[in-house]
Structure 1
Amino acid sequence: MAIAIQPARPADAADIDHVLTTCFPRPAEAKLVRQLAIDGELVLVLIARDEATNAVQGLVAISRMDVAIGGDPAPAVALAPLAVLPDHRGGGVAEALVTAAIDHMRRAGALLMFVLGEPGFYQRFGFTTDAAQGFDSPYAGPFFMALELQGGLPCGPRGVAHHAEAFAALAQGA
């Protein structure tokens, strides 16, 4: 089965909601993506579809982050949420979505992509805790990873790495 990865369009709103409400036990992730869009913080949503049937299989969202290196702003994004419908897990959909998101953000000129997730999954794409170390984030820890998208970072001490405000409601269990 071939997977087509496409940027989401307004007509995909119902599919996005379906994936998020099916994949997560609470509605917070669907609310997160809606709030990121309302706040203008959503950079990209990619949708995975079956090429033959056009049926939705999963999605990944990318949002802006407030990141500083050496006291200067650094273009950075957060990868979250990543969701694949249960019937399509294990078939490469998540990998295709993450790979496409990385490619899009490299071309867009982002320096860093952060993720809060399972190291065993994200490390295969180059995400490391080392790349995220030193950034001031409420999510800092063993699951907070980053990927350098442009082959290196500017010199200087690492500063803030703050997700969009909509993530605070998710962290509080809203």
Structure 2
Amino acid sequence: MTTLRLRPEGPADAEPIRRVLAGAFARPDLPVPPEVGLVDELRRSDAWIPELSMVAEYGGEIAGYALLSRVRVNPGQFPALALGPVAVAPNRQRIGLGASVVQAALEAATELGEQLVVVLGDPAYYRRFGFGPADRLGLTSPWSGLGEPWQALVLPPSVSGEAPVPRGEVVFPPPWSRV
């Protein structure tokens, strides 16, 4: 029986994560998918939260990855998180690793007292985690015009209580502008 281990990224995981991202987002017209560079740049920025960079080890190898990084909602600079990229090695897709690593990341964010996560992705996929249309929460972004793929999730309140969820423009750190 192959074992699954979900954990935050460690110092030796950067290269295996790059391979997972490169495989999951491979395109014949690009030698390196932009998601690889995005993660590398986010690691060097103040948007990086090491505890929220989650890997799925399957059979002793990193086969899945989900990143939550810092974004802000204006006005007021309210801290929130962006989910992505989420990737699973091509030879390990369709066995639940993506869902497992996303769920682990969301649980870690809840434990840290985070309140809001946004994502741009397939609504049918992300709905299972509780995401819904971000515009219903009054959240906009450069991707708002894409409609349903622009989604948000209000996390359960932590022991410290619940603050009102802000409305406004979600401001992404500079690395996101190159994706």
Asked if 1:164 is matched to 2:152, the reply is: no
Segments of 4+ in structure 1 off by > 6 A? none
Cα drift, residue 40 of structure 1: 2.4
Give the alignment's Cα RMSD to 1 decimal.
1.8
Partners in 2 of 1:55 and 1:9 — Cα distance?
13
Could you tell me which amino acid in structure 2 is paired with residue 32 of structure 1?
A: L
Q: Aligned to 1:22, what secondary structure does the other structure show?
A: helix
Contact 2:68 2:82 in 1 (8 A): yes
Aligned to 1:22: 23
TM-score, structure 1 normalization: 0.87
Aligned to 1:74: 78
Deviations 1:84-109 (A, max 9, x none): 01111111101101110110111111
| Alpha carbons of structure 1 residues 132 and 34: separation in structure 2 relative to 1, 3 Å | farther
Q: 2:54 aligns with which of 42, 46, 51?
A: 46
Contact 1:132 1:144 in 2 (8 A): no
Deviations 1:10-41 (A, max 9, x none): 11111011111111124210000001111221
Aligned to 1:98: 102
Percent identity, please: 32
Partners in 1 of 2:109 and 2:135 — Cα distance?
17
Deviations 1:40-60 (A, max 9, x none): 21222111112xx31111101
| Alpha carbons of structure 1 residues 155 and 97: separation in structure 2 relative to 1, 3 Å | closer
Aligned to 2:5: 4
Deviations 1:139-161 (A, max 9, x none): 112101010013566176x1121
Gaps of 5+ in 2: none
Partners in 1 of 2:71 and 2:142 — Cα distance?
13
Could you tell me which amino acid in structure 2 is paired with residue 34 of structure 1?
A: D
TM-score, structure 2 normalization: 0.85
Could you tell me which amino acid in structure 2 is paired with residue 78 of structure 1?
A: A
Q: Aligned to 1:81, what secondary structure does the other structure show?
A: strand
Contact 2:139 2:170 in 1 (8 A): yes
Contact 1:58 1:83 in 2 (8 A): yes
Could you tell me which amino acid in structure 2 is paired with residue 168 of structure 1?
A: S
